[in-house]
Amino acid sequence: MTQSNLISSIFRKEVLAMSAYKVADATGLIKLDAMENPYSWPEDIKKSWLETLKNCPLNRYPDPEARQLTATIKRLNQIPDRFDVLLGNGSDEIIQLLLMALPANACVLAPDPGFVMYKQLSLCLGLSYYGIPLLADSFELDLPAMLDAMEKHQPSVIFLAYPNNPTGNLFSKASIREIIKTAKGLVVIDEAYAPFADASFIDSLGQYDNLLVMRTVSKLGLAGLRLGYIAGLPGIIEQLHKIRLPYNINSLTQISADFALSHKALFDQQTQKICAERSLVFNKLNTLNGITAYLSAANFILFKTPENRANEIFASIKKQGVLIKNLSPQGGLLADCLRVTIGTPEENAAFLTALTKSLVTS
Ligand code: PMP
């Protein structure tokens, strides 16, 4: 048997058809491609964090329920006691867990463009996935199209990122409520960018049995820890606990996240700086000839470049030492679009200089 016959006889066709999620190599570049917080911690905080790590028993398995961290997360996010929370190795893992718990013929629905993992993980698990186009100019939900698709496909899960990635906008709250009310399945409000948005559905948890709210510490400034969480009715969260691996949150993450989240003021300060820079970058982008930047409630900005020039502009910016994200190859509403994460003032200035030069020279 040839190697390729062996492989195709073993793996599911959905897996064979996929390509791996590629992360660009940022070595030596200013990294503005992945919505990370650019700031680290002051030395004194780093020192006391290292002190807490000293007592971490690495010879023992972690607390399988991460009880202390879960309690901290519930308190800080004001999640009422009657709702349960499940922690994941990043919110990516939670999306995967939720989809793994669905029947084989289940269907998943999300707006398009949206966060790529909803589709990637659905297809890999052999589920049906429908991406419903957002409205072209505003990137707002096309409510009638969403409701039609819900009626037609009866999705088990609908994902709504709030704010949306990669467009950065907050969908209309009224439209989201209509979707939650009409849905016969679960609706996950993915609040990955909540720290920058000042808007949330956590307060609405009590109003809808089918609502789940998911968050992550990644964009806040703790992407390296890999920690996400989802809140909802205990009966629903219990199903996810059944299929998660027993020790999915490692000891170092449990201790470090609990420590970090107790320094909320530091993250609030960093978040404010990022939001202030977001306005500056947005205004500057819109002064550049041929560039249209879209308003963002997240820590990144999507912008449109002159027609058919996104690839060359992206490459030119990279050549000048700044890595952003080229979304143009995805086509559709993202044709000609690039996305930049908000960094430090110096990083943003380097990006804007590189972009300005790329527009002149290319
Ligand atoms: N949801 C959205 C909308 C995202 O943009 C991302 C990261 N890009 C995630 C979830 C995953 O975050 P993480 O796995 O780092 O928690």
CA-CA-CA-CA torsion sign (155, 161, 165, 169): positive
Using a cut of 0.85, tell me whether the model's pTM lies above it: yes
Using left for φ > 0, alpha for ψ between -120 and 50, and beta otherwise, residue 15 falls in alpha
Distance, CA of 129 to CA of 152 (rounded, Å): 13
Q: How far apart are CA 216 and CA 343, in angstroms?
A: 19
**CB-defined site of ligand 1, < 6 Å:** 35, 90-92, 115, 161, 165, 190, 192, 216, 218, 223, 228
Among 117, 164, 200, 301, the mutation site with the greatest number of ligand 1 atoms within 8 A of its Cβ is 117
In sequence order, the 6+-apart residues with CB closer than 8 A to the CB of 264 are 76
Query: For residue 246, is the peptide bond before it cis, meaning its omega torsion is within 30 degrees of 0?
Result: no
Sign of CA dihedral 48, 51, 55, 59: positive
Residue 92 CA to ligand 1 centre (angstroms): 6
Cα-to-centroid distance, 40 and ligand 1 (Å): 20
Tokens encoding 271? 């978040």
Each residue of 61-113: pLDDT tens digit? 999 999 999 999 999 999 999 999 999 999 999 999 999 999 999 999 999 99
Which residue lies with its CA nearest to atom 1 of ligand 1? 192
| Per-residue model confidence as pLDDT tens digits over 288-336 | 999 999 999 999 999 999 999 999 999 999 999 999 999 999 999 999 9
> 34 is written with which tokens?
């992945």
pLDDT at residue number 154: 98
Q: What percent of the chain has pLDDT over 70?
A: 99
Ligand 1 atom at minimum distance from 114 CA: 3
Which residues are 340's β-sheet partners? 301
In this predicted model, what pLDDT tens digit does every residue of 185-234 receive, in sequence order? 999 999 999 999 989 999 999 999 999 999 999 999 999 999 999 999 99
Instruction: State the pLDDT at residue 20.
Output: 85
From ligand 1's centre to the CA of 361, what distance in Å? 35
pLDDT at 205: 96
| Ligand 1 center from residue 352 Cα (angstroms) | 25
What confidence tier does 21 reach under pLDDT thresholds 50, 70, 90? confident
Q: Which amino acid is at 226?
A: R
Residues 6 or more apart whose CB falls under 8 angstroms from that of 27 comprise none
Q: What's the pLDDT band for 19 if we cut at 50, 70, 90?
A: confident
Per-residue model confidence as pLDDT tens digits over 258-281: 999 999 999 999 999 999 999 999
8 A C-beta contact, residue 101 and residue 86: no
> Facing residues of 92 across strands?
none
Residue nearest to atom 6 of ligand 1 (CA): 192
Longest Cα–Cα distance of the chain, Å, equals 61
Q: Which atom of ligand 1 is nearest to the CA of 216?
A: 16
